[in-house]
Structures are given as structure tokens and as C-alpha cells.
Amino acid sequence: MPRLYPLEKTRNIGIIAHIDAGKTTTTERILYYTGISYKIGEVHEGTTVTDWMPQERERGITITSAAITCFWTPTYAKKPETKEERMSGEYKINIIDTPGHVDFTAEVERSLRVLDGAVVVFDGVQGVEAQSETVWYQADKYKVPRICFINKIDRMGADFEFCLKSIKDRLTKDAVLITLPIGQEENFSGVIDLIFMREVYFEKEKGEEVVFKEIDPSRKEEADYWRHVLVESLAERDEEFMEKYFSGEIKTEDLLKTIRKLTLNYKLVPVYVGSSLKNKGVQLLLDGIVDFLPSPLDLPSPKGIDPLTNQEIERKADDNESFSALIFKIAIDPYVGTLSYVRVYSGILQSGMTVLNTSTGETLRVGRIARMHANHREEVSELFAGDIGAIVGVKTLKTGDTLCDPKNPIVYEKIEFAEPVIWMKIEPKTKIDQEKMGMAIKSLADEDPTFRLMQNPETGDTLIGGMGELHLEIKVDRLKREFNVEVNVGRPQVAYLETVTKEATAEGKYIRQSGGRGQYGHVWLKVEPLERGQGFEFVNAIKGGIIPDNFIPSVEKGVKEALDKGVMAGYPIRDIRVILFNGSYHEVDSSDIAFKIAGSIALQEAVKQANPILLEPIMKLEVVIPAEFLGDVTGDLSSRRARIEETFDRGMSKVIRCKVPLAEMFGYVTVLRSLTQGRGTAVMEFSHYDPLPINLSQLIIQSKVNEK
């Protein structure tokens, strides 16, 4: 079947926000207005269509991304009368649902990777909040053009000017209003469209009917002012527009065209206002999505690596190119099993096709393909370039895998995920649970690469690891609900690391030459500190074949194994460069195993001499509390070794930003609740590793000794 929607009318977008800003409600309204969602469901009633999993409904937050396809004709376009007219005017929007909680930023990053544009939702009372900032900078990293939606204009305390200012101060000076609220708080009744210069009201019960009116004389001055700000912002940034501006002949098309061009070039961020809950302003936001966010054709061609030559290559977003795609999400559907969400970058993915998974080297046959709508799954026979859908029932795919035409391989840059900062012992409650637990954890880990499973080789305990306490709690919750596995978990343990603080060299010898064939491995290693977060680097500086090339990988292997178990308290050693610079070999007795052991011995010895220290994970924390609790909360934070970076006002609340060691933060949510009569909130995310103070290091080392 030929494609029904041209690529330039396709939008792959994400909706991102700080928790509670209204992402779910806004998504739900979008689905309602695009005609796919038949019934408006409120979040607190648990009927929203993007929230799939039971505990998401209970907690009222969206944890996993799903991709949903919907269709939109701009409100200013002529109302279609026939099916043909509708199809020719319509845009296809794929909404990639990004998770809203900071503990899941890996999922946000993964979604940002595959979407072309984003809508950032703000709370009209709060303005820019901690996660808005985090996500904003992630979107910068992936060069995602975006538009903003200041939501909750109907709420008491809402203030669009404050919000706009906080966006301009904290995120981007390029933010510019496209719509203006008519009234605020309980008087919020509609918006002024600054492009078409008219008032827009949302009538009928769910605001589904859009009514345009002339600007009321009482509001004309304010509208003119903001229109002027908009036009000036465009003239400052675009020469062609500036010329038109001076010759005084600006048309609506010029505005639309220039705003689009500047938004796609990251020079402008259009801002809309509204209230999703009160069904106001969302349709114009949808217009903004199709008018100003990119189609796959507007972005640079995606770049990957040719696995055969290791050269960088690119693929055009074109159906006629050879097929390539990226898996960005694995989800388990109770009815059809594994769904592997896929973004097709080039060519066409057809059911029945054989494709290469370049990330694993396996070829596989793609059976069924589906496109997900708000409340149903549509089986399709193909997905075209630039499109998003899901492969049904293939169990071997993982997040981040590249699929492509076996004759024309490409691998897209792997998404890099952080290592866990927290581990927890997990034990099945019964023998039946034991049988199911391994498989269940494995499928959760396939979905989420920051969630890990590990066996402690000494104790035999099974450990799960992740990016924070809540992250692991949610996984344990899912084990019970979705997989029927009951488990007991231990206290969370911090994932400390070890590192070196100066250079040192050491020798490693593994020589056994009594009787029969002997063993001979002999190396000299030098270790040096690397910058924080750099991990591990191995340098082969052997000259003149004093150790033959074929033994070098064995030395590296021995080094790597030794790095996994540090010399102070058995934590992994990181941020270290290891240089192999000397050694010797024996014609007959040298072997891979002897060099591996020699490498391990030398590494351990060198690290011991390089003033090793322990590192601990430090979290970025933002606490929002009513002002009267400021003293108590900062006092408590100081006792947790927090470094307070700033304290400021946001509306009626106080915001505290600090860096604090993860080890001090277990159960903090409960403490904060009792310190603030339940009114404080906190969000936390991993920041970096820092040296652990000496006295605490000694305690950790001692407790490790006692464990044994």
C-alpha cells in the first residue's frame, strides 16, 4: 500500500514536563480533540489512555513511554467536508509519551533520541521547576526543537507573565508568546491568538468547538503590545522578515513561515497558554505542533556507523533508501506479548521482512507490525520512513538496537545509560516465586537498561540495581502486579566506587616452572587517575614485542576483572587509566591465562600504591516547601551532608536546591512529609560521584570486613 500521509505532514513529538504540570491531562486532551479518544477521562479517575500500567494509574504518573498516533487539521484551515478533503488537509502526529519522573530520566533521554520535536508543559503557578530544567537541557543535547505550553492558567495564583519570565530567565531568552490568556485564574475564559489577531473561545462541554471573535476593545492595547513583542522578536532574528517589517507589509503567512523557520533553527521557542483541565487552549497548541515543529524531513539526516568499515554514514528520511530503524522501547502487552517500539529512519519496514539487528549481529524475521492509537491497536503491513510503530511478539530485541537491511548495514549510535547508583537484595517469598523471578526481572531489565540484576559472588545473593529508591520500588511493585512474583527486599545499598588519586607502577608475575609445562606471565603496569566519570582506559605501550601482541588482550582482561573488585572494600574501580609498559615472556610456558593472572596481580598492587579512595554517588535534590518550614528543612538537610546551592521563592513556596550524598537520603520522602505537615515535595536525580570523607570510608571498609 502506498503511504497515505506525506512525510512533510508527519510530526513525531514528545510531551515533557515536571511531574504534575499537566502532561498527562494535556496528552489526554490532545487525543480527545484529535478524535481518537472518545471519552475524556480525568487522571484522578484513572482512565487516561496513555497510562497503561495499573500502578501508573494509582500514582497518577506516567512511567513508560508508549507511542500513539493521531491526526489533526489546523483550526484555521477550512473544515473538510469529504473524506478526501480531510485526508489531504490532515497531519499525522505520533506522540511519544515520555515519563514524568526524574528517577526515570534514562527513559526521557531514550525518547528524546527518537522524537523530532517536543512540547514542554509548565504549571502556570509554578513556572520553571527542577525537572523542566533537567529535561530542557536534555532536549538541548539531542537538538530537539520545541514549543512551550503554560498550563493551569485557571488555577489560583496562575500568572503567565511570571511563567514566561521564569522560562526566559532559566531556560531560554528566545521564548515568545503566541497566545495570550483572556483573564486568569477563575476568570480565564479563552485566548488571544497573536498570529491571526483574534480571540479564540472553546465552546461546548469539552471545549471541542473553536469559536473565533474580534479582539474586544478593552483588550486591544494588551494584544497589540504582545503582538509587537512577537513581531520584533522575529525581525531581530530574521533578515528577510525584518525587511518586510520595515516596508510594513507583514502577512499572516510571513509570520507562520518565519516562526517555523526560527523554531527549527533553535532560534525561537513559541509559547502557548491554556488550561488542559478546563479544555481551553489545547487546539491552538495542536496548531502549533503542526505549524512549528519539524517533520522528519526538516532535520539533518540521521548518522550512524557502517559496521564493516567503521565509517560514519547517513541515511535520508526517504522510503526509497534502504531500511534502517532504532528500537527505543520494549513493553510487555498482556494480550500480544512483547511490543518493540521502533522508529523507522529510512526505507520501509514490512511485515514478513528479514532484517539484521546490527547491535547483536542476528538476523530476524519481522512478523506483525502495529500502530498504536489511544485506545486500540491497528495492525499494519508496513511502516514508512519517519514513522513510529511497534513490532509484535519478537522477544530478542532490546532498547537501543538498530535494525536494518542485511545488505546495507548501519548501526546508530548506542544510547548510553548510567550505571546503577543503588542496589537492593531481592529474595523470592516462595519456591514458585523463585522459578518466576529470574524471567520476570529479565523482562523488566530488557525494557529499562538502567535497571540491572546482579549476583553477589560471595554471598550468592541476588541484587537489583537502579537509579534511585523509587525506581526500584516501582520495579518491585511491577513484579507483584504484572508477573505475580512476591519478593522480600533488603535495605537499599549505595553503589560506592573506588578510584586512585596518584600515579603508581607495579609488577605482576605469574610464573610456575616446576615439572611439565609451566606458566609464564610477567607485566609492569602503571595506573593514573582519570577525570571523574571517565571510567576506564587501557593503554598498550609495549614496544619491540617484549610481550607478543597476542597476549595483550589477556592482560587487559585480567586488568578488567581486577577492576571489578577493588582493593579497599571490593567496590568497582573506576576513573583510572592503566598503562601496560613492560614485562617479559617465555617461548614455551607463556599462555593467555598466565598473562591474565599477571595483569590482575599487577593491577591490584598498583592500585594499592596509588592512594586509593572511595567515591560515593551525589544526588541533585530540589525541595519545594511552604516558607514557614524553611529552617527545619534546611537544618535537616545540613545534617545529611547536603551542600545547599540556592534557596529562592516560587510563587508562595520556597525552593531549596542542593547536592546531597545518596547514602543520606533513604526514606527522605517520609521525613520531609513529617517535617512539613505533608506539604513538601522533593525530586532527586543522580548528579556525579565525589570522594567519600575519610571517617565514613573507614566505616564502610569496616562493615565490609564484618560481612565476611
Applying CB under 6 A, does 29 fall inside the site for ligand GDP? no
Pick the binder of ligand GDP from 11, 12, 20, 65 (CB under 6 A). 20
Applying CB under 6 A, does 152 fall inside the site for ligand GDP? yes
Pick the binder of ligand GDP from 17, 356, 523, 562 (CB under 6 A). 17
- According to DSSP, the β-strands at 377-380 and 368-372 are antiparallel
Applying CB under 6 A, does 44 fall inside the site for ligand GDP? yes
Q: Which residue, 273 or 527, is less far from ligand GDP as judged by CB?
A: 273
DSSP track, 139-195:
HHHTT--EEEEEE-TTSTT--HHHHHHHHHHHT-TTEEESEEEES-GGG--EEEETT
Q: Are 148 and 167 in contact (CB under 8 A)?
A: yes
Pick the closest to residue 151 from 123, 191, 179, 188 (CA basis): 123
Applying CB under 6 A, does 22 fall inside the site for ligand GDP? yes
Site string (61-90) toward ligand GDP, x via CB under 6 A: xx----------------------------
CB of 18 to ligand GDP, least distance (A): 7
CB of 15 to ligand GDP, least distance (A): 9
Applying CB under 6 A, does 343 fall inside the site for ligand GDP? no
Q: Which residue, 123 or 616, is less far from ligand GDP as judged by CB?
A: 123
Dist CA 582 CA 525 (whole Å): 7
Q: Which residue, 123 or 382, is less far from ligand GDP as judged by CB?
A: 123
What backbone phi and psi angles, to 5 degrees, belong to 356? -100, 130
Q: How many residues bind ligand GDP (CB under 6 A)?
A: 23
Q: Are 140 and 120 in contact (CB under 8 A)?
A: no
What backbone phi and psi angles, to 5 degrees, belong to 578? -120, 120
Pick the closest to residue 191 from 269, 271, 125 (CA basis): 271
Applying CB under 6 A, does 13 fall inside the site for ligand GDP? no
Q: Are 525 and 578 in contact (CB under 8 A)?
A: yes
Q: Which residue, 153 or 601, is less far from ligand GDP as judged by CB?
A: 153
Dist CA 578 CA 599 (whole Å): 10
Pick the binder of ligand GDP from 7, 13, 21, 500 (CB under 6 A). 21
- Residue 62 cell numbers, joined: 506516567
Applying CB under 6 A, does 681 fall inside the site for ligand GDP? no
Applying CB under 6 A, does 342 fall inside the site for ligand GDP? no
Dist CA 279 CA 262 (whole Å): 29
Q: Which residue, 157 or 626, is less far from ligand GDP as judged by CB?
A: 157
Applying CB under 6 A, does 297 fall inside the site for ligand GDP? no
| Interacting positions 272-291 with ligand GDP (CB under 6 A) | 275-278
Residue 572 identity: P
Applying CB under 6 A, does 25 fall inside the site for ligand GDP? yes
Applying CB under 6 A, does 60 fall inside the site for ligand GDP? yes
Q: Which residue, 39 or 173, is less far from ligand GDP as judged by CB?
A: 39
Q: Which residue, 275 or 346, is less far from ligand GDP as judged by CB?
A: 275
Pick the binder of ligand GDP from 110, 146, 155, 478 (CB under 6 A). 155
Dist CA 140 CA 146 (whole Å): 10
22: left (phi over 0), alpha (psi -120 to 50) or beta: left
Applying CB under 6 A, does 114 fall inside the site for ligand GDP? no
What backbone phi and psi angles, to 5 degrees, belong to 489? -120, 150
Residues 6+ apart with CB under 8 A from 66: 50, 52, 97, 329, 331, 341, 372
CA 113, 115, 117, 122 torsion-angle sign: negative
List C-alpha distances in Å: 556 to 481, 524, 588, 597, 605: 44, 12, 21, 10, 15
Applying CB under 6 A, does 151 fall inside the site for ligand GDP? yes
Q: Which residue, 23 or 526, is less far from ligand GDP as judged by CB?
A: 23
Q: What angle do CA 435, 441, 444 make, to 5 degrees?
A: 145
Applying CB under 6 A, does 24 fall inside the site for ligand GDP? yes
Q: Are 416 and 94 in contact (CB under 8 A)?
A: no
Applying CB under 6 A, does 605 fall inside the site for ligand GDP? no
Q: Are 223 and 216 in contact (CB under 8 A)?
A: no
Applying CB under 6 A, does 184 fall inside the site for ligand GDP? no
Pick the binder of ligand GDP from 7, 19, 139, 474 (CB under 6 A). 19
| Interacting positions 218-277 with ligand GDP (CB under 6 A) | 275-277
Stretch that binds ligand GDP, among 37-45, 67-75, 163-171, 507-515 (CB under 6 A): 37-45
Pick the binder of ligand GDP from 90, 103, 129, 154 (CB under 6 A). 154
Q: Which residue, 25 or 324, is less far from ligand GDP as judged by CB?
A: 25
CB of 48 to ligand GDP, least distance (A): 8
CB of 159 to ligand GDP, least distance (A): 14
Pick the binder of ligand GDP from 14, 41, 74, 100 (CB under 6 A). 100
Q: Which residue's C-alpha cell is 532527586?
A: 684
Contacting positions for ligand GDP (CB under 6 A): 17, 19-25, 42-44, 60-62, 100, 151-152, 154-155, 275-278
